[in-house]
């Protein structure tokens, strides 16, 4: 099933490349997120805005800076203020189900990017998050010889991140020589600073060589925070892998420190797919499916052509 949906996502990308342009010019689209400060979320929104310009839409971007009550209110405002469509970014619509239901009842299509499928939304565009987690976890486990101690940085409130966690759970079950010795539920926003503080505490609680061999970061920003703590403590023998292909994480991989890999999500591709499908929907058509996937890529020193001393 993963493969068939992924193929459909790729087909959507190819179809976008030969788009006939704006089918629904002049429409008003509300783009709403609680997490604009996150690099990946910002990248998706900027890519969506670029496509919206091609389609001649008016786009209103709202960020509630982690305030979910305000997020729900802004979605309700968009429904009642004449928006032709609502795009939710990096959030599970089930967290504001009442507001999404009201939008559907009012005939306002709701699309999510990097979110989750929902009975009251018309489309979710994302990566196959289980595959993301599986790919990163296998790489990380291989790097420590499939044995040792790991720590986990996670955020189960995001449906995609939770799928990555499930992939880690399955891998831990299949690899009993690897033990999880600590975990941390990351505070969002502020994930880099929060993760640095948490990693500081983990290092103090697990002193000595081999007490921690690897950091599993559900996305790159917690890994970046953990890297800061490891560098400050001068600890050796710990490796970090994350997900997103964050430019700062890629720079850290090139720098030959603790950060060794990230799985890049196609955030720009997600936004382009979402905009193309919304263009069709606003013109009276339907999305190709209720969920479409963008491709992913494992980024390592080897793939970057980096040789470390």
Q: Are 163 and 117 in contact (CB under 8 A)?
A: no
- Determine the Cα–Cα distance for residues 114 and 39; give it in Å rounded to an integer: 13
Peptide bond into 125 cis (omega under 30): no
Residue written as token pair 């263009």: 279
CA 266/CA 296 separation, integer angstroms: 6
291-293 vs 123-126, strand pairing mode: parallel
Listed residue (214, 71, 85, 67) closest to 139, CA to CA: 214
Backbone CA torsion sign across 126, 128, 134, 135 = negative
What distance in Å separates the CA atoms of residue 60 and residue 191, rounded to the nearest whole number?
Answer: 26
Instruction: Provide the edge-to-edge strand list for the sheet that holds 214-217.
Output: 178-185, 148-154, 214-217, 239-244, 259-265, 296-300
Between CA 241 and CA 231 the distance in angstroms is: 15
Write out the chain's pLDDT in tens, 309 residues.
Answer: 333 344 444 444 434 443 445 566 899 999 999 999 998 999 999 999 999 999 999 999 999 999 999 999 999 999 999 999 999 999 999 999 999 999 999 999 999 999 999 999 999 999 999 999 999 999 999 999 999 999 999 999 998 999 999 999 999 999 999 999 999 999 998 999 999 999 999 999 999 999 999 999 999 999 999 999 999 999 999 999 999 999 999 999 999 999 999 999 899 999 999 999 999 999 999 999 999 999 899 999 999 999 999
Strands 259-265 and 296-300: antiparallel
Hey, which bits of 15-75 come out as E strands? 28-33, 58-63
Structural domains of the chain in order of their starting residue, each with its CATH number: 2-127+266-294 (3.40.50.2300), 129-264 (3.40.50.2300)
Quote the CA–CA distance of 277 and 121 in Å, as a whole number.
13
């Amino acid at each position: 099933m993963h493969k068939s949906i992924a193929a459909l996502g790729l087909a959507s990308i190819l179809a976008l490349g030969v788009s006939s342009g704006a089918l629904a010019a002049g429409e008003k689209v509300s783009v709403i997120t609680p997490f604009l400060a996150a690099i990946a979320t910002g990248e998706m929104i900027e890519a969506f805005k670029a496509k919206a310009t091609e389609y001649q839409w008016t786009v209103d971007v709202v960020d509630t800076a982690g305030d979910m009550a305000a997020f729900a209110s802004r979605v309700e405002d968009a429904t009642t203020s004449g928006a032709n469509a609502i795009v939710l970014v990096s959030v599970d619509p089930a967290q504001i189900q009442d507001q999404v239901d009201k939008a559907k009842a009012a005939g306002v299509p709701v699309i999510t990017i990097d979110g989750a499928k929902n009975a009251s939304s018309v489309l979710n565009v994302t990566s196959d998050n289980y595959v993301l987690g599986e790919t990163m976890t296998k790489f990380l486990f291989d790097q420590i010889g499939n044995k040792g101690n790991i720590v986990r940085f996670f955020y189960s409130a995001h449906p995609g991140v939770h799928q990555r966690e499930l992939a880690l759970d399955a891998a831990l079950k299949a690899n009993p020589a690897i033990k999880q010795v600590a975990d941390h539920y990351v505070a969002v926003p502020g994930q880099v600073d929060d993760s640095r503080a948490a990693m500081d505490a983990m290092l103090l609680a697990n002193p000595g060589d081999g007490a921690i061999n690897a950091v599993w970061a559900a996305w790159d920003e917690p890994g970046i925070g953990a890297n800061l703590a490891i560098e400050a403590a001068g600890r050796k023998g710990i490796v970090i892998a994350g997900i997103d292909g964050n430019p700062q994480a890629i720079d850290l991989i090139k720098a030959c420190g603790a950060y060794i890999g990230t799985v890049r999500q196609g955030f720009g591709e997600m936004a382009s797919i979402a905009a193309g499908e919304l263009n069709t929907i606003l013109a009276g058509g339907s999305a190709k499916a209720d969920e479409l996937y963008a491709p992913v890529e494992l980024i390592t020193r080897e793939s970057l052509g980096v040789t470390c001393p």
